[in-house]
Amino acid sequence: MENQSTSLTPTRAHVFISGKVQGVGYRFSTLETAVNINVSGWVKNLPDGKVEAVFEGSNQAVEKIINWCYRGPKSAIVNDVTIKYEQPEGLQSFEIHR
Catalytic residue numbers, as ranges? 27, 45
* CB contact at 8 A, 33 and 65: yes
Angle ∠(93,35,40) on CA atoms, nearest 5 = 35
CA atoms of 61 and 6, how far apart (whole Å): 12
